[in-house]
Amino acid sequence: MDRIRLTGGNPLNGEIPISGAKNAALPLMIASLLTDEPLVLTNVPRLTDIATLARLLAELGVEIEVLNSSGAWETLTTPIEGRLTLANEQARRLAGFGPDATYKPGGRTLRLTARTIASTHADYDLVSKMRASFWVLGPLLARCGHADVSLPGGCAIGTRPVDLHLQGMEKLGATIELDKGYVIAAAKDGLKGAEVRFSMPSVGATHNVLMAAVLADGVTRIENAAREPEITNLADCLNAMGAKIEGLGTSTLTVTGVERLHGAEVAVVCDRIEAGTYAMAAAMTGGDVTLSGVDASLFEAALQALTAAGVDVDVTPADNTIRIRRNGTALSPVDIVTQPYPAFPTDLQAQFMALMTMADGNAQMTETIFENRFMHVQELARLGALISLHGDRAIVSGVKSLRGAPVMATDLRASVSLVIAGLAAEGETVISRVYHLDRGFERLEDKLSACGADISRLPG
């Protein structure tokens, strides 16, 4: 397995282009299952999660093409035994490790066409690698009337049950059975509009039920829906495809079902989590970094926390840029509580904790979303951080300095918290199991080294 080696102490200075959001690109790709016409997605990031989902979609019958450097469409999927498949080399290209692996700002453009659904079976081998794969359940039910989808996998940061997904499908008229680790769903007479109220604003369940409802017969009202920008990106895409969704950006979505959807071209929204991560990295090193291609309104809570910590945050909406500066002054401790959007995101908790390890005082991190999202604490402690755990709270006592050490990534966001800490630590830090990073951060070492970080990848 690859590792990342870095030597801390260099302030970050320069510009970091922000990629398209993984958490938006994945449901947008899945939406291609809802129509037999092409769906074109721009600003798609180069990530292993993108490649994993592409493999699954190919198995289901989606033809995947990429716009190459000469401006021509290149088909990545090939037919095999009545289905489509994505070869290892093609998957590596989607993940940013193929022949054109040199990082270039601006995401890929993909064209996905599901002329026919070759299979409604989503296999364990693929779904177990990434939780978002489970979201094919809704589109397959809506278009084909049946689906059998493996229960999901992904980062080990909590149980994250799929109960809300299944309850939503049952409200829409589907029958659900669980058999040998698979969800067997059927809607013989098609899905019907209904009232769906979530007990909590689940992002995954909102994605899944929303995609099912657009082809249901009648009106569906989704109450306590998640409000994340990635939900709005998906709803905008579905509306561009001919769906009728109202209430975008609110906790109540009203969907009037239509008979069919058509093709469309949609841009993947910028990655607010990546932007927040690099903002915290710049603050950690006392640098001066401009984030480009980013909408600051998508992560205001995180920027407010940085400002409270004593970091200069200058937003220029007209240019889609944010300048992050810290001139060496001490960081102030800031307490945060992770909550659903638009509050402080759980996906930035580990990164902010890394920043607070060198604050002048004690900061409290309260995690309300996932019950097992403090696994990075022990690895930060290896770098000299002082952190005590109290149930869903972590008390971070700032130290004068961190020291480099070998550490191990435990999940996607925890991985990058170790990078942030290592950027400021004295000496060398080597991070193993960085495949987690490749799932959600496009060419992280290239972006950081361009701003002066002493960071490199060690092939496994």
Active site residues: 155
- Report how far residue 21's alpha carbon sits from residue 10's, in angstroms, rounded to the nearest whole number: 27
Q: Is 244 annotated as a binding residue?
A: no
Peptide bond into 342 cis (omega under 30): yes
In eight-state DSSP terms, residue 192 is B
Residue 9, Cα to own-chain centre: how many angstroms? 29
Q: Is 162 annotated as a binding residue?
A: yes
- Report how far residue 46's alpha carbon sits from residue 438's, in angstroms, rounded to the nearest whole number: 9
Q: Is 201 annotated as a binding residue?
A: no
> Distance from first CA to last CA of the chain, Å, rounded?
4
- Report how far residue 42's alpha carbon sits from residue 310's, in angstroms, rounded to the nearest whole number: 36
Q: Is 369 annotated as a binding residue?
A: yes
Task: Provide CB contacts within 8 A for 243, sequence distance 6+.
Answer: 214, 235, 255, 258, 261
Output the six-digit token pair for 181: 């680790």
Instruction: Kindly calculate the radius of gyration of the chain based on its CA atoms and give it in whole angstroms.
Output: 22
CA atoms within 13 A on the CB side of 311: 32
Task: Provide CB contacts within 8 A for 137, sequence distance 6+.
Answer: 122, 147, 149, 165, 169, 183, 185, 208, 212
Q: Is 23 annotated as a binding residue?
A: yes
- Stated as kind and residue range, the H or E segment containing 316 is strand 312-316
Task: Provide CB contacts within 8 A for 106, sequence distance 6+.
Answer: 17, 43
- Report how far residue 364's alpha carbon sits from residue 360's, in angstroms, rounded to the nearest whole number: 13
Q: Is 22 annotated as a binding residue?
A: yes
Q: Is 347 annotated as a binding residue?
A: yes
Output the six-digit token pair for 108: 């890929």
Q: Is 131 annotated as a binding residue?
A: yes
Helix (H, G, I), strand (E, B) or coil at 282: helix
Residues 211 and 237 sit within 8 Å (Cβ to Cβ): no
Could you tell me which residues are annotated as the binding site for UDP-N-acetyl-alpha-D-glucosamine? 131, 160-164, 347, 369
Could you tell me which residues are annotated as the binding site? 22-23, 131, 160-164, 347, 369
Could you tell me which residues are annotated as the binding site for phosphoenolpyruvate? 22-23
